[in-house]
């Protein structure tokens, strides 16, 4: 099953018109890791697009929860295993975001998500990043634990493609692998909420943005983004985070759906990010 996207950012009409007028704009659209994927390359060639798509597929083979042959699926099946360099990097970032958010970001919620998806009792006892061990490139999980990287892997893939295109000499490109990252710019993106609709524009230039909306997908127990403690429900209808790294923005936007405003303001200051909150009434707050 492919999860409905919880991301609510789209390239604005003004940007699309401007791009269409650019004689050497190359485009690609597809799906990866359950997300809609798009690339807009100014001055790009088919070879550049092919290289970017190859990189997307490489990351997907590592982290896709939908691919039974992915590295992540292998780790879940065997309660751990040897880690590739990319997976070590991403799990190190997971640990950092976990600590930054006081545990609100926790990749071990996968058993809870699967149980909720199938209408079974929720196994909260299996959740706990503190029981995951990574030593000398090897990961070990407690019996029954499983990881999901859906709340951060799309951002990681977006960063990898951005870095690849930068290395190939691009001065202007917009990458979206579930999240958005801009080389150059400006690019205008429309922020939307699944309940309240369009709520404003964001201008992206040499930075990244990720957006999470818990109500974009409903499970039998409620929204599909969980508090790892099992106690809280989402406090925000949409959280959007702007940062230099799409992976960091992705992880924070996922976790902060559960965080009170004061905690979010503190995190925005500590991480140098800009955060937009949309509450259940549709009111918008900007921090950072």
pLDDT of the residue at 222: 57
CA nearest neighbour of 44 among 13, 9, 19: 19
**Phi/psi at 80 (nearest 5 deg)?**
135, -170
Mean pLDDT value across residues 73-80: 98
pLDDT tier for residue 22 given thresholds of 50, 70 and 90: very low
Q: Which residue has the higher pLDDT, 141 or 33?
A: 141
**pLDDT for the residue numbered 220:** 57
What's the whole-number mean pLDDT along residues 67-93? 97
pLDDT band per the 50, 70, 90 thresholds, residue 217: low
Average pLDDT, the chain: 87
What's residue 19's pLDDT?
42
Q: What pLDDT does residue 226 have?
A: 77
User: Using omega within 30 degrees of 0 as the cis cutoff, is the peptide bond preceding 265 cis?
Assistant: no
47-61 average pLDDT score: 93
More confident residue, 203 or 72: 72
Q: What is the mean pLDDT of residues 62-83?
A: 96
pLDDT at res. 2? 31
Task: Reply yes or no on whether the pLDDT at 11 is more than 60.
Answer: no
- CA pair distance 19, 13, nearest whole angstrom: 10
Q: Is pLDDT of 148 > 90?
A: yes
Residue 1's pLDDT band (cuts 50, 70, 90): very low
More confident residue, 227 or 25: 227
The pLDDT value recorded for residue 224 is 60
Q: What is the pLDDT of residue 215?
A: 75
pLDDT score of 20 more than 60 = no
Q: Where residue 132 falls among pLDDT bands split at 50, 70, 90? A: very high
Cα 84 to chain centroid, rounded:
20
Q: Average pLDDT in the 196-203 region?
A: 87
Q: 109: burial class by Cβ within 10 Å (0-12, 13-18, 19+)?
A: buried
pLDDT mean over 214-239: 75
Number of alpha carbons in the 13 Å side-chain half-sphere of residue 261 = 8
- What b/e sequence results for 32-66 when a residue is b if at least 16 CB atoms lie within 10 Å of its CB, and e otherwise? bbbbebbbbbbebeeebbebbbebbeebbebbbbe
Interval 87-120: pLDDT, tens: 999 999 999 999 999 999 999 999 998 898 888 8
pLDDT exceeds cutoff 60 at 177: yes
Q: Which residue has the tokens 């955060």?
A: 275
* Model pLDDT, residue 216: 66
Residues 170-195 have a mean pLDDT of 89
């Amino acid at each position: 099953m492919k999860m409905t996207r919880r991301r609510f950012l789209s390239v604005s009409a003004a940007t699309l018109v401007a791009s269409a007028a650019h004689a050497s704009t190359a485009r690609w659209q597809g799906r990866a890791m359950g997300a809609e994927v798009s690339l807009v390359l100014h001055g790009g060639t088919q070879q550049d697009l092919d290289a970017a798509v190859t990189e997307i597929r490489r990351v997907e083979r590592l982290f896709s929860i939908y691919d039974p042959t992915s590295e992540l699926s292998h780790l879940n099946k065997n309660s751990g295993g040897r880690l590739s360099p990319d997976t070590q990097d991403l799990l190190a970032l997971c640990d950092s975001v976990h600590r930054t958010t006081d545990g609100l970001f926790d990749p071990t919620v996968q058993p809870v998500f699967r149980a909720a998806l199938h209408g079974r009792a929720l196994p909260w006892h299996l959740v706990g990043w503190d029981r995951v061990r990574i030593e000398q490139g090897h990961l070990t999980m407690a019996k029954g634990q499983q990881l999901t990287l859906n709340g951060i892997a799309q951002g990681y893939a977006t960063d990898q493609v951005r870095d690849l295109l930068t290395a190939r000499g691009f001065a202007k490109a917009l990458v979206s692998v579930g999240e958005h990252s801009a080389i150059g710019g400006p690019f205008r993106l429309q922020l939307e909420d699944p309940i309240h609709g369009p709520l404003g524009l964001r201008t992206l230039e040499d930075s990244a943005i990720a957006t999470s909306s818990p109500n974009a997908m409903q499970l039998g127990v409620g929204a599909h983004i969980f508090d790892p403690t099992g106690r809280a429900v989402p406090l925000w209808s949409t959280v959007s985070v702007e940062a230099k790294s799409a992976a960091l923005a992705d992880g924070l936007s996922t976790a902060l759906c559960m965080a009170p405003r004061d905690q979010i303001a503190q995190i925005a200051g500590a991480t140098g990010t800009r955060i937009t909150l949309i509450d259940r009434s549709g009111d918008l707050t900007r921090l950072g």
